[in-house]
Amino acid sequence: MSLLSLDHIRHRYDKKSSQNVLNNVSVSIEQNDILALVGESGCGKTTLGKIAVGLVKPSEGVVSFKGSDISGLKGSGYHNYRRGVQLVHQDPYASLNPTQSIYETLSAGLIRHKLCSRRDRRDRVKDFLKTVGLDPTDDFLHRYPHQLSGGQRQRVGVARALVVQPQLIVADEAVSMLDVSMRVSILDLLLQLKEDRGLSYLFITHDFGVVRYFAEGYRIGVLYFGALVEEGSCAELIERPLHPYTYTLLSAVPIPDPRWNRSRTPVVLRNLDDTAMPAQGCPFVQRCPFSDQHCREETPPLRSFDGQHKSACFHPDRIPSNLRSASYAT
């Protein structure tokens, strides 16, 4: 039984629009697991994250937490789900309430779920601050977000997700607003928490470099225009992508070696406006360098290639295998 599974999720924000933000997406996350979702801006990554946390109700499809549909959860079952799945936001400057001190921000969840006695509250908050690598002094507890640096704020954001002792954390672009120097330390913190607490992550990002570091040994899903086009283990998907979209994304990752970089032929995609989505066929067809008549007429289903590696492409064999070079990037 999966910790969280999303089955055949479709979502549209505007009921009148025919355009789905998410189109038949199914993913699942196990206990102590990582699923990284990659995709360009506007592909539905964040919406999927919000649906996973239960803040957006999908138009169609089922979200189940430990096997039970969350739309039917009530009472303690709902409480457990509410506690069990937490968010870490992208922007550490917008994600903390400017009128609440660090202590107020962190204790709200403890109070809400009655996780400790009034007397212990302070110590618990300090424990969590220590866990995320912040200095748990009294002075720090009474600071306000504007008095902290970006990295400190993001750590507070992680601590805020942790206080209710979740099992799954949805990290929506959790490091993309941070300095490169801060990124690895936050990623390491998240990985360490996974080891220590058996946490799972739904890690949403657009950055393959980050994914490679974070999801090593786990799975990556690639979203394109609201559809899951490829899913596979980190190593396989990066070494041998089976969807042209993944291939083009990977070919855009810069390589810190000029000889390799020059030897590659970069794939440049045409920009596409949302309205130009084909009514039928593969969603990627207009930008795909390998498409043919078949791709225009029929939507390729997500099918399994070898074991876990799935792709929604009719012609994965047409994708060049020169990507070994791309995997050079970190």
Partner 1 sequence: MAYIARRFGVSLFIIYVVITISFFLIRLMPGNAVDFLYFQLLASHTVSPQQALQQVQSLYGVNMKEPLLLQYVQYIWNMIHGSLGNSILYPGTSVLHILMNALPWTILIVSTSLIISFFIGISIGTLIAYFRKSKFAVLVSTIMTVLSAIPNYIVAIILLYLLADIHHIFPTGGAYSPEVAPGWNIPFLFSVARHAALPVIVFIITQVGGWSLGMKSSVVSALGEEYITSAHSHGIGSRRIIQSYVGRNAILPLVTSLGLSIGFMVGGSVFIETLFNYPGIGFFLITAVNGRDYPLMMGAFIIVTSAVVLANFLTDLINQRLDPRTMQK
Check binding of 101 to partner 1 (CB under 8 A).
yes
Q: Which is nearer to partner 1, 78 or 305 (CB)?
A: 78
Q: Rule CB under 8 A: which of 139-198 touch partner 1?
A: 144, 146, 157, 160-161, 164
Going by DSSP bridges, is the β-strand pair 303-304/310-311 parallel, antiparallel, or unpaired? antiparallel
- Give the whole-angstrom CA distance, residue 200 versus residue 150: 24
Pairing of β 227-233 and β 219-224:
antiparallel
Q: Is 97 in the site for partner 1 (CB under 8 A)?
A: yes
Asked if 189 and 154 touch (Cβ cutoff 8 Å), the reply is no
DSSP notation for 281-322: S-TTTTT-TT--HHHHHSPPP-EESSTT-EE--S-GGGS-SG
Q: How far is the CB of 238 from partner 1 (least distance, A)?
A: 30
Please identify, using beta-carbon distances, which residue of 83 and 264 lies nearer to partner 1: 83
Asked if 83 touches partner 1 (CB under 8 A), the answer is: yes
Residue 96 touches partner 1, criterion: CB under 8 A = yes
Q: Figure out which of the listed residues 82, 155, 219, 309 binds partner 1, where binding follows CB under 8 A.
A: 82
Stretch that binds partner 1, among 83-91, 199-207, 214-222, 308-316 (CB under 8 A): 83-91
| 91 contacts partner 1 (rule: CB under 8 A) | yes
Residue 314 and residue 284 in contact, taking contact as beta carbons nearer than 8 Å: no
Based on CB atoms, which residue is closest to partner 1, 20 or 86? 86
Using CA atoms, how far residue 130 sits from 155, 159, 228, 280, in Å, is: 10, 9, 38, 53
Residue from 8, 57, 112, 324 in contact with partner 1 (CB under 8 A):
112
Cβ-Cβ contacts under 8 Å for 14 (sequence gap 6 or more): none
Dig out the tokens for 65 from the structure: 């937490």
- Neighbour count for residue 20 (Cβ, 10 Å): 20
Reference 328, options 247, 254, 234; nearest CA is: 254
Among 39, 44, 54, 283, the residue binding partner 1 under the rule CB under 8 A is: 54
Q: Which of residues 237-276 bind partner 1 (CB under 8 A)?
A: none
Q: Looking at 14, 75, 76, 98, which residue binds partner 1 (CB under 8 A)?
A: 98
108 touches partner 1 by CB under 8 A:
yes
Nearest to residue 208, comparing CAs of 188, 185, 230, 237? 237
Question: Which of 10, 66, 113, 318 is close enough to bind partner 1 by CB under 8 A?
Answer: 113
Residue for token digits 């908050």?
A: 125
Which of 1, 8, 17, 55 binds partner 1 (CB under 8 A)? It is 55
Interface positions with partner 1 (CB under 8 A)? 50, 53-55, 79, 82-83, 85-87, 89-91, 94-99, 101, 105, 108-109, 112-113, 144, 146, 157, 160-161, 164
